[in-house]
Amino acid sequence: MEDFFYRRKASYGRLPLALRSGIATAVQCLPPHLWHGLFYGAYTRRIDRFFAGQDAARVASLQWELVCDTVNWAVRHVPFYAGRRPLGDERDLREFPIVTKADYQEHMSAFLAPAARRHALPANTGGSSGVRMDFFLHKGRSRPKEKAHSDWYTSLFGWTRRSRVLVVRGKALQRNRLFERQTLNSRLAVSCHDITEANIGRVVDAIQAFRPEFILAYPSALMVFTKLLGDVSALGSERPLKAVFLGSEVLSDPDRRWFAQFYRTRIVSWYGHSECVLHGGCVPESDDYHFFPFYGYAELVDEDGKEIVEPDRVGRIVGTSFDNRVMPFIRYDTGDLGVRSSRQSPHDAYGSLVVRRIEGRGRDIVYLRDGSRISMTSFFFAQRFPQLTKVRELQLEQQVAGRLLMRIVKRPEYREEDEREIVNRLVHSVSGRLDVSVVYVDQIPKTLRGKHVFLVQRLHDQDLPRVDDIAFRSDADGTAHTEAQIR
């Protein structure tokens, strides 16, 4: 049933709030196996098998069975891998090429298994690399697995199906509401697009009445919200927060420490993506990212594709998916970088690859006319514009607060109405506090390392109103971070 509603998620979001609440109430009465499907239980039992013993060799053996199931299916049924030998050991896997997002986009039909086409569930990324990526999940498997895994992971920190969750992801709500009670999953969603010092009191009143146990947020969106909040006691001190969950963006160590101090609770960060290839996250015993072996097979490799085993070295995060026979991802370059940790996993079932820092995911901020700050994740990527299928590349540039330049490399099917739809949705999502202009170009320059820069932010601190909100710094290697400067 959940797959049916997943394909109609946008239509559900446009329904009146009262009708959505009624549907959600009915859904919450269903047991997980009816709503999410039988694979929910199958995946839960898989996790139990991995945790049944304290033997690293046993965990590795269970994971290798899943790798072989994916890869050997692909060898038999996916055109791109036709003619390759079935796997024997890990050395055989390294003979498979590392495949990029561009490879999947340019040769999509070659990565599809005709034998599983009837199970295809269309999906896409939000386009954080500047190019939207379309792909297929496995109907009846991918979504139930994702939910089962999420339920297991959040339960490590005390989250249950009935937990009350404050969601601060910045996404514009229906009719540009400041907040919205979402019965499904017991959530109160807050949009940072329209919150100001003048109306934050209304939001705080709603939060106090809701009494959240957890916060689920984008780091940059939570930073904006936290600055306006000013004091965590405004949320009410009767029931302290159990944890704050932060994902979809890089979380720097200074920001982690600052959030932990402000909210006086555990900060939980995780790594994942729409393709459902890998999942890594903090665990109760450690703030490092552990790549869970029952979800996917993770590798950390250098520029030549060789495994990185030395601690503190940066490498590419490459993954092989499980449970997607429609479009298996094998040695898939996620486009993200990780720094190998010197610490070992505290539990064999958490997996052997431990990363202390994830790099390559933007904390980009756009500045609105009134000085408000909005994260690119909530402002652009989360909107999942269907028009991006007609865009070859896209780049944003900001030189003045409240103005944004959009460069587009068009595909032949792109039309004038596509521009209007993209611009109107962006402007409407921030209540008109941003002007967006569009120019069309033949190509967009890359960095010296060939990377696409999605947002070129040319504003300097002296150009911005209320500049003490966020200060920018760079590590010696040029990696940009933001740190809260709350006064």
What pLDDT, on the 0 to 100 scale, is given for residue 337?
86
**Packing angle, helices 38-51 and 56-77, rounded to 10:** 140
Least confident of 200-214, 226-240, 268-282: 226-240
Among 210, 254, 259, 218, which residue's Cα sits nearest to residue 236? 210
Tell me if residue 347 falls in helix, strand or coil. coil
Residue in 414, 461, 406, 395 with CA at minimum distance from that of residue 435: 406
Candidates 339, 363, 374; CA nearest to 255 is 363
Please tell me whether residues 290 and 269 are part of one structural domain.
Answer: yes
CA–CA dist 284, 268 (Å, integer):
9
Cβ proximity of 300 and 315 under 8 Å: yes
The answer to whether 71 and 96 are in contact (CB under 8 A) is: yes
Q: Which two tokens stand for residue 6?
A: 């997943």
The C-alpha atoms of residue 416 and residue 184 are separated, in whole angstroms, by 37
Res 286 pLDDT > 80 = yes
| Least confident among 38-47, 94-103, 345-354, 366-375 | 366-375
Average pLDDT, the chain: 85
DSSP 8-state class, residue 30: S
In this predicted structure, what is the pLDDT of residue 225? 87
Share of the chain above pLDDT 90, in %: 55
Lowest mean pLDDT: which of 32-36, 239-243, 427-431, 458-462?
458-462
- Residue 408 confidence (pLDDT) above 90: yes
* Distance from C-alpha of 94 to C-alpha of 92, rounded to nearest angstrom: 5
Q: How many domains does the chain have?
A: 2
342 with 371, same domain: the answer is: no
Give yes or no for residue 43 having a pLDDT over 50: yes
Which segment of 136-145, 170-179, 252-261 scores lowest on mean pLDDT? Answer: 170-179
Q: Of the candidates 327, 345, 361, which is a domain's last residue?
A: 361
Question: pLDDT value at position 130?
Answer: 56
355: tokens are 């990363």
Residue 229 in contact with residue 262, Cβ under 8 Å? no
CA distances from 364 to 59, 376, 381, 454 (A): 38, 6, 11, 9
Q: pLDDT per residue over 447-477, tens digit each?
A: 554 456 788 888 854 454 443 333 333 333 3
User: What secondary structure letter does DSSP report for 118?
Assistant: G
* Strongest mean pLDDT among 189-203, 206-220, 234-248: 206-220
Decide which of 361, 393, 410 is a domain's last residue. Answer: 361
Alpha carbon 203 to its chain centroid, in Å, reads 25
| C-alpha torsion 210→36→246→215, nearest 10 | 10
Local confidence band at 423 (pLDDT 50, 70, 90 cut-offs)? very high
Lowest pLDDT segment from 230-244, 265-279, 286-300, 337-351: 230-244
223-227, 308-312, 322-326, range with the lowest pLDDT: 223-227
Question: How much is the average pLDDT of 379-399?
Answer: 86
Q: Do 142 and 265 reside in the same domain of the chain?
A: yes
Domain membership of residue 299 as a residue range: 1-361
- Digit-coded pLDDT (tens) for 331-341: 999 988 899 99
Answer yes or no: are the C-beta atoms of 171 and 195 closer than 8 Å. no
How many CB atoms are closer than 10 A to CB 391?
22
pTM to 2 decimal places: 0.77
Both 316 and 295 in one domain: the answer is yes
Contact call for residues 193 and 429 (beta carbons, < 8 A): yes
Q: Are 266 and 372 members of one domain?
A: no
Shared domain check, 4 and 107: yes
70 and 174 in a single domain? The answer is: yes
Comparing C-alpha atoms, which of 281, 223, 280, 213 is closest to residue 244?
A: 213
Q: C-alpha distances in angstroms, 322 versus 168, 180, 195? A: 30, 35, 41
Report which listed range, 17-26, 35-44, 478-487, is most confident: 35-44
Residues 476 and 356 in one domain: no
Please check whether residue 142 is in contact with residue 275, taking contact to mean a CB–CB distance below 8 angstroms. no
373 with 391: CB under 8 angstroms? no
Average pLDDT rounded to a whole number, residues 246-253 = 85
- Give the model confidence (pLDDT) of 13-38 as tens digits: 666 766 766 666 666 666 666 667 88
Which range is most confident: 62-71, 172-181, 220-229, 408-417?
A: 62-71
Same domain, 357 and 438: no
Look at strands 455-457 and 435-440 and give their pairing.
Answer: unpaired
Answer whether residue 82 shows pLDDT above 90: yes
Structure tokens at 293: 């072996």
Q: Quick one: pLDDT at residue 25?
A: 64
Lowest-confidence segment of 86-95, 272-281, 377-386, 476-485 by average pLDDT: 476-485
E-strand stretches of 198-353: 214-217, 243-246, 266-272, 279-283, 286-291, 296-301, 314-321, 332-340
pLDDT, position 476 = 34
* pLDDT reported for residue 267: 98
CATH number, domain of 464, equals 3.30.300
pLDDT at 126: 60
**If 0-12 CB within 10 Å is exposed, 13-18 middle and 19+ buried, where does residue 194 land?**
middle
Q: Are residues 345 and 392 in the same domain?
A: no
Q: Which of 361, 392, 427 is the last residue of a domain?
A: 361
Q: How far is CA 332 from the centre of its chain?
A: 16
Is 115 in the same domain as 21?
yes
What is the structure's pLDDT at 151? 95
CB-based contacts of 459, cutoff 8 Å, min separation 6:
367, 398, 399, 400, 401
243 & 376 share domain:
no
CATH number of 215's domain: 3.40.50.12780
